[in-house]
Amino acid sequence: MEPTIEQKLLAIKQWLGTGSINIFGLPLSGKDTVGVRLAEGIGGKFLSSGLIIRSNEALSNQNYTGRGEMTPTKIFYDWVLPYFDREDLKPFPLVLSSIGRWSGEEDTVMDRARTSGHEIKLAVVLNISEADVTNRWETVATLKDRGNRQDDESLEIFQRRLDEFREKTLPVILHYRNLGILVEVKADLDREVVFAELVNQIYKYVQSHREANPPAAS
């Protein structure tokens, strides 16, 4: 009998411990939407690099994201990496939304996560076309349902975000794939279907990982 989604989430939680799952995807692919739900489902905490960076930009009067650009690596390290060491997060698994999205940051991010007790055990990429996310941007621009975000203000800025993803983040995803810790999820579907498929793909990875690494006999 196929396990329920609740049973799959429990298996993921037990396997993950206080580790991390890092979710990647194009802008408007649904990273934060499914990430928040996954964190809730496994009793974890959700960390979004975008939310952290925009909050710090507001405090420091900087505006990389408003121009559709990624934050320089040193600033990213200063603003985002300390979250791994927060005492209030130590007991929990973490679901990350694109933490370390610029090629060259991935090893430092993985090292910091591991030393803090939140080893990145899996990465997920939400697969959706640039045409589909551009259609989503047009809907967002009409409905204004993401607040007054500067990185959504114009198609030019949004296209720059797509360029940044293509040039800087795709190599990061390839890095996780080469490590054998990447699962891919079709993301151009209804959000309930996408979340169910996300859980299913992570669960399948967990099961295959356990079969390949059975517990040692006592």
Which helix (H) or strand (E) element contains residue 162? helix 155-164
Q: What is the pTM for the complete model shown?
A: 0.91
> Consecutive 10-residue runs of the chain (218 residues): their mean pLDDT?
95 98 96 97 96 90 86 95 97 97 96 98 98 92 66 84 96 97 96 97 93 58
Q: How many C-beta atoms surround the C-beta of residue 185 within 10 A? A: 24
Percent of the chain with pLDDT over 70: 92
Is 218 inside a domain boundary?
no
Q: Report the CATH number at residue 178.
A: 3.40.50.300
Report pLDDT for 209.
Answer: 82
Is 157 inside a domain boundary?
yes
Is 204 inside a domain boundary?
yes
Closest Cα to residue 102, out of 27, 164, 55, 152? 164
65 within 8 A of 146, measured Cβ to Cβ: no
Q: What is the total count of domains within the chain?
A: 1
Rounded CA-CA distance 169/186 in Å is 18
Q: Domain limits at 169?
A: 5-208
Is 126 inside a domain boundary?
yes
Report pLDDT for 218.
Answer: 45
Is 217 inside a domain boundary?
no
143-197 per-position pLDDT tens digit: 766 656 666 678 899 999 999 999 999 999 999 999 999 999 999 999 999 999 9
Rounded CA-CA distance 141/216 in Å is 54
Report pLDDT for 130.
Answer: 96
Is 213 inside a domain boundary?
no
